[in-house]
Structure 1
Amino acid sequence: MIQVDQALHIIQENSFKMRAVKLKVNKALGFVLAETVFSPINMPPFRQSAMDGYAFVQGEDEYYKVIGGIQAGSHSDPHLQENEAIRIFTGAYVPNHADTVVMQEHVKREEDLITIEKMPQKGANIRAKGEQVEKGALVLEKDTVLSPAAIGYLACLGIIDVLVYQQPKVAILVTGSELIEPGKKLKKGKIFESNSVMLQAALISIGIRKTKVFRVKDKLKSTKKAIKKLLSNFDVILISGGISVGDYDFVKEALVKNDVEELFYKINQKPGKPLFFGKKGEKLVFALPGNPASSLTSFYVYVLPALKKRMGFEEIHQTEILRKSNATIQNPNGKTLFLKGLYDGTHVTVLESQSSAMLNTFAIANCLVVVPYDTTQIRKNQFVRLLPLN
């Protein structure tokens, strides 16, 4: 049995980035860049009006004759004489001889004559060629996570393909003869299976949608067969239940028979002590506790960093924050505790009903309160570490 920090270190050392693939920009949201991107063009590619108004050559007069108009998307380059202006719209090409654009709100127009009532500074309201980014300049660095704004930025430069780290295909294997799917009739001795739905939702929250759920009864032969199949078709396998030491817990034996290398088994923590992490080649396997709260806690603390490492993220661990405890927390058994809590700007409250089998408080918690194994007590108003869940 190992400590939490040891387990996290082992996961980081044995999780490798997926291979890089070309992806259409409009399909790359949430992916991580596997290359640095440089601009293929100047942006804007020409001098561009920042306002609806009038382009002119600034002089001493306030009166200008309007000789035409330029809308966005057209290209017209009239030679403006002294005291001449041209009607122009936001995003439109600014004629080479114009040096200023005046907002239409600051102009009084009578037929083809305008009076500038509030003269702007010379050069006002014109976006220079390459003002946002020049051709050949850095656009986005390698390892950038592609947000909606980043997607838009790439698209406005005409970039349609990017090299990103492939997202892992994840299988969820649910074990347990007592489990039935929600929606079916609940017979005596059976319970509704929720871990697969919960884990799929957790995966979607970090952008992983290539998931598939499989189910197996508590039998060694069928468990071994299922794991063998999943190792051939998926990058990461999450197994729910069957990893403890009961008479019908066959997962660990089935993993050994499939030549999965054990990297650790059992962590000195509560909840979630019977947690297995192993690999076969670059395929990762997490055998999670069957109790729902233990399973979800283990996902946030251990599975999430491994998946983010595989996806190409540089920062893979949850960012910890500190808050003052609203009550004394006891830890008499020398285990690292992960307690469901609610925090605000200054304090955190540990919720009641910390049972590993129950999700009722997990459903309203916004953090896990972390009590180290070598801390026997956290006093009221003493700072405690939190892992935010939002």
Structure 2
Amino acid sequence: MISVENAIQTLKKYSKIGTNFVDKTLEKANGYLLAEAIIAPIDLPPFNQSAMDGYGLCLFDDYKNQNEYKIVGEIKAGDTKTYHLKKGEAVRILTGAAVPSSVDTIIMQEKTSLHNNVVTIQEEISFQKNIRLKGEQVKKGTIALEKRTVVNPAIVGFLYSLGIDTVKVIQKPSIGIISTGNELIETGKTLAYGEIYESNSKMLISALYNLKFYDINIYKVKDDYDGTLSTITSSINKHDIVLISGGISVGKYDFVFKALQELNVNELFYKVNQKPGKPIFYGVKNETQIFGLPGNPAATLTCFYTYVHIALQKFAGKINIELPRKKAILSNAYTKKRQRSEFLMAKYNQGTIKILDQQGAAMLQTFAAANALIYIPENINTVEINDTVETILLPL
């Protein structure tokens, strides 16, 4: 059995970085990392552009003493017609419209008055005001976005404005989830005595979707050794990461660990000195990473956020592969019963944190109310009110 810190370092060392690239349309690229830098194919904006509704002026030589300009036309966004203004002339111009080269500055309409086709300027005039210059955001041929940038909605809009609709990204892992247990049945069926509704696989799918991982397949297996062995074998052959829910402990009908041994999975750690989630397994076979997660749902989710999250984000090419951690001031005390690390479901709010009631490996209702986990290392037995504690912020 190893410590939480050693388990995390093992994951960081042995978890795989994805090496395959795939082309994605921008609508489907959100959350992916760019596999290569994006070179701007055009200037942005591609022309001098009006930043607001107003009047474009061709300035007098003594423009500081002249404030009346004759209007000779109008330009709205999308117009291809241009004007060659003479000194003392102006065009009505709207936001987004192309600015003629003869326009020296744009005055917003709120700072003008209009009478008999002559606009009077009611503020001090200066050059190139309210003009977005050609190439101001990015110039053609320069790097618009660096390699490994995470695609987000703003980037989608930015790339479309450059005329780009497809990007090459680092492919995310294919994930198999194996749900084990005779007692598990699907919702919609009537529970018999001793049965429970299966929730762990649905919970893991939701956690994966929340992190923008979508290539997922679900497998269900009863507490049967041959079935467990066959399902794990098939999943390892099909997926980059396999998450096995339940069956990893040492009970009479827990067959997962035995199956992993028979398959010669390279065990990197098995059992971590922590609560909840002690019986967690991590290993590798044929480039596939395998996690044996505890069956209790709160323990499953704790291990997912502490360990699986690292493997997922590293595979996807991320730099920050752990959930963010902060120091917070504790509002209630807690004493551990054993010398082990503990993850406590908690509520974080603006620098303070409260340990929630009903802590336990099966307490999903408590987890549902939490937005953070407090991490108490194994060498600390008691935390008091106003102590500073390490806080792991959950991706809600």
Question: TM-score, length-normalised on structure 2?
Answer: 0.95
The answer to whether the aligner puts 1:11 opposite 2:11 as a matched pair is: yes
Residue in structure 1 matched with residue 370 of structure 2 by the alignment: 365
- Any unmatched runs of 5+ in structure 1? none
- Counterpart of 1:9, as a letter, is Q
The answer to whether the aligner puts 1:244 opposite 2:245 as a matched pair is: no
The answer to whether the aligner puts 1:102 opposite 2:103 as a matched pair is: no
Residue in structure 2 matched with residue 25 of structure 1 by the alignment: 26
Find the residue that maps to 1:363 and give its secondary structure.
helix
Residue in structure 2 matched with residue 90 of structure 1 by the alignment: 95
- Counterpart of 1:216, as a letter, is V
CA contact (8 A) 1:223 1:250 kept: yes
- Counterpart of 2:155, as a letter, is A
Listed one character per residue, the Cα deviations across residues 53-99 of structure 1 (whole Å, up to 9, x for unaligned) are 22111223222222122221122332211221112111111111111
Matches within 5 A, 1:72-221: 72-221=77-226
CA contact (8 A) 1:76 1:95 kept: no
Find the residue that maps to 2:311 and give its secondary structure.
helix
CA contact (8 A) 1:17 1:165 kept: no
CA contact (8 A) 1:174 1:196 kept: yes
Aligned counterpart in structure 2 of residue 303 of structure 1, from 282, 299, 308: 308
Between the aligned partners of 2:161 and 2:141, the Cα distance in structure 1 is 15
Between the aligned partners of 1:93 and 1:87, the Cα distance in structure 2 is 12
The answer to whether the aligner puts 1:230 opposite 2:232 as a matched pair is: no
Between the aligned partners of 1:36 and 1:181, the Cα distance in structure 2 is 46
Deviates more, 1:136-145 or 1:309-318: 136-145
- Counterpart of 1:154, as a letter, is L
Between the aligned partners of 2:277 and 2:158, the Cα distance in structure 1 is 43
Residue in structure 2 matched with residue 2 of structure 1 by the alignment: 2
Between the aligned partners of 1:104 and 1:119, the Cα distance in structure 2 is 14
Deviation at 1:257, TM superposition (A): 2.4
Between the aligned partners of 2:180 and 2:34, the Cα distance in structure 1 is 36
- Any unmatched runs of 5+ in structure 2? none
Find the residue that maps to 2:12 and give its secondary structure.
helix
- Counterpart of 1:126, as a letter, is I
- Counterpart of 1:4, as a letter, is V
Deviation at 1:354, TM superposition (A): 1.0
Residue in structure 2 matched with residue 38 of structure 1 by the alignment: 39
- Counterpart of 2:313, as a letter, is K
CA contact (8 A) 1:57 1:80 kept: yes
Between the aligned partners of 1:125 and 1:8, the Cα distance in structure 2 is 53
Deviates more, 1:292-301 or 1:50-59: 50-59
Deviates more, 1:339-348 or 1:166-175: 339-348
Question: TM-score, length-normalised on structure 1?
Answer: 0.97
Between the aligned partners of 2:365 and 2:92, the Cα distance in structure 1 is 64
Listed one character per residue, the Cα deviations across residues 326-353 of structure 1 (whole Å, up to 9, x for unaligned) are 2332224210000111122232211111
Matches within 5 A, 1:281-320: 281-320=286-325
RMSD: 1.4
- Counterpart of 2:90, as a letter, is A
Deviation at 1:168, TM superposition (A): 1.0
- Counterpart of 2:217, as a letter, is K
Between the aligned partners of 2:178 and 2:67, the Cα distance in structure 1 is 77
Between the aligned partners of 1:56 and 1:217, the Cα distance in structure 2 is 79
Find the residue that maps to 1:362 and give its secondary structure.
helix
Deviation at 1:119, TM superposition (A): 4.3
Deviation at 1:315, TM superposition (A): 0.7
Aligned counterpart in structure 2 of residue 280 of structure 1, from 266, 280, 285: 285
- Counterpart of 2:386, as a letter, is N
- Counterpart of 1:352, as a letter, is D
Deviation at 1:355, TM superposition (A): 1.5
CA contact (8 A) 1:263 1:278 kept: yes
* Aligned-residue identity in percent: 43
CA contact (8 A) 1:170 1:238 kept: yes
Find the residue that maps to 1:242 and give its secondary structure.
coil
Listed one character per residue, the Cα deviations across residues 226-285 of structure 1 (whole Å, up to 9, x for unaligned) are 111111211111110000000000011112223321111100101111001011122111
- Counterpart of 1:377, as a letter, is T
Deviation at 1:181, TM superposition (A): 1.0
CA contact (8 A) 1:102 1:119 kept: no
Listed one character per residue, the Cα deviations across residues 1-47 of structure 1 (whole Å, up to 9, x for unaligned) are 01111111111112222212222222210101122222222111111
Between the aligned partners of 2:280 and 2:125, the Cα distance in structure 1 is 68
CA contact (8 A) 1:331 1:371 kept: no
Q: How many residues are treated as equivalent by the alignment? A: 390
- Counterpart of 1:107, as a letter, is T
Between the aligned partners of 1:320 and 1:50, the Cα distance in structure 2 is 41
- Counterpart of 1:188, as a letter, is Y
Deviation at 1:113, TM superposition (A): 2.4
Deviation at 1:199, TM superposition (A): 0.6
Deviates more, 1:81-90 or 1:111-120: 111-120
Deviates more, 1:178-187 or 1:63-72: 63-72
Deviation at 1:141, TM superposition (A): 1.6
